[in-house]
Amino acid sequence: MVSRAGCGFLLATVLAVVCAGSVTAVPPPPPNPSESDIAAASAQVDGVLGQVGALINQVASANEELQRLDDEVATRREDVNKALVDLQDARDAAATATAAVGTAQQGVTDASTQIDQAQQRFDKSAARTYTQGSDAASIASYFGAENPDEVLDRAQMLALTSKSQQAVLDGLQRARAEQANKASAARQAKQDADTAAAQAQTQKDAAEQAIAAAQSALAQQNSRKSELQRSRDAAQVQLDAARADVSGLQGQRDAYTTWDGQRREEAAAISALADTAKQIAITAAARVAADQAQRDRAAELAAGQRPHTTLDEDDDDAPAPPPRKRSLPKLPSVIGPAAVEIVVDRGMSQLGVPYAWGGGDENGPTKGIRDGGVADAHGDYNKVGFDCSGLMIYAFAGIGISLPHYSGYQYTAGEQVPADDMRRGDMLFWGSNGSQHVALYLGDGTMLEAPQSGDVVKVSPVREDGMMPYVARLVP
């Protein structure tokens, strides 16, 4: 059994071996050259070397442009995630405003009913007064007054009663007017919410168009790079052949023998360490499966939530789902080193799970969605897996923390800590305000990530190039 403390060192060792690079096997040796053949080959080496150098520089420039386009595509993907979240919020606001209009309109109806009832009572009272007379003598006779003073007193009572009824009517009229104003304000709020929802839909469409344009440029650049690589490889073949002639058969064989021995040693070491890394993942998965409390916390967060990626599947004729507020990150229900290890265990338990753009929630991997480009080309919409922000949602759900499915929002979810002070369990980000990518720091210069379409959840060396200067710390 591998301890948690040893996981970081072992994974770092695996990465150090894997990232050290591989050696290319030398082709079969040519016949033993003569002096004139060696001289001719040396001249050929000089000529081809310049050609290869120029092509290598062009390929390097193409790689830089591809990296820039990759970054742009990553940003556009997260822009779509953001637009989906904002669209859901706008639709929820519209649903809330619709309910408010109904409540306000019901208030107007209720106030009108009360006014009608009060008016009927007032009319009946007035009718009785009219039929029984309005002078002091008839009123005194109606009330059975025994002297003039009592007649005057009762006449005053009748006047006060009439004024009181009129005051009630006036108050109800004012209440109805206030309710009407509220209904008008609620209708305006609904109109504003509908407008915001339409704008959010427009922004989502624009984001999807932007990612399509970026992916088109990326495809063109990939095509240009492939052409350069074919030219470079052809020139390299010529260079290798010329160098083989110059170096001689025995030198080639000695170099190959040395390299082959190193390759075998490295392969054996990588195989052994890979088995150890696999055991680490299995052990982490076993701890996650055995910890019912963290699974209950994740299930509680997931209950009633609707994945933002289902918005495109809405049927306009279907009844709108009940609005829900996007939950904000809160203090974890478990803190300290124990919480960090729960987060790491949950993440590590998913090693090898496919990347699926838009995939992943509090309970685990989910089916990906279409992006109209790279993700579709890799079939992400038919895969069950995680994207970068979905993996973080799953990892932190085990300690009761709910995260939005957008790396830019996750960047502001916790305490901002300088990257130089990062520690195990912190989230690392790339792109402006974390808008391109997010990963989980494991320690020893390694991180856990769901990198990109066509890849899997894996442990990688921390890439400082392009990384945000601050990390997000959710566990105190």
For the cut 50, the answer to whether the pLDDT of residue 277 exceeds it is: yes
**CA–CA separation, 274 and 268 (whole Å):** 10
Query: What's the mean pLDDT when you consider all of the chain?
Result: 81
Q: Locate all alpha helices (DSSP H) within 292-441, ordered by sequence.
A: 292-302, 336-348, 374-377, 388-397, 407-411
Higher-scoring residue by pLDDT: 244, 407: 407
Encoded amino acid at 382, one letter = N
Domain ranges of the chain: 32-247, 291-314+324-473
For the cut 50, the answer to whether the pLDDT of residue 324 exceeds it is: no
**CA–CA separation, 46 and 432 (whole Å):** 46
Encoded amino acid at 275, one letter = D
Catalytic sites, residue numbers: 388, 437, 449
Terminal Cα distance for the chain, rounded:
29
Tokens at 124, concatenated: 């009946």
Sign, CA torsion 457/458/462/465: negative
pLDDT digits (tens, 9 = 90+) for 68-94: 988 988 888 888 889 889 889 988 988
Is 32-247 in CATH node 1.10.287.2610? yes
Band (pLDDT 50/70/90 cuts) for residue 164 is confident
Look at strands 366-367 and 437-443 and give their pairing. unpaired
Band (pLDDT 50/70/90 cuts) for residue 328 is very low
- Mean pLDDT value of segment 307-318: 55
> 467 Cβ partners below 8 Å, 6+ apart?
419, 428, 429, 430
Higher-scoring residue by pLDDT: 235, 366: 366
Look at strands 384-385 and 446-449 and give their pairing. unpaired
According to CATH, the superfamily of the domain at 291-314+324-473 is: endopeptidase domain like (from Nostoc punctiforme) (3.90.1720.10)
Band (pLDDT 50/70/90 cuts) for residue 308 is low
Q: Compute the 3-state secondary structure of the chain and give helix, strand, coil in percent, each to the nearest 5.
A: 65, 10, 25
Q: In this structure, are residues 302 and 401 in contact, taking their beta carbons and an 8 Å threshold?
A: no
Strands (E), 220-304: none
Q: In this structure, are residues 339 and 439 in contact, taking their beta carbons and an 8 Å threshold?
A: no
Res 154: pLDDT: 62
**CA–CA separation, 53 and 56 (whole Å):** 5
For the cut 90, the answer to whether the pLDDT of residue 449 exceeds it is: yes
- Mean pLDDT value of segment 124-138: 62
Out of 153-157, 268-272, 379-383, least confident range: 153-157
Number of H helices, E strands in the chain: 10, 8
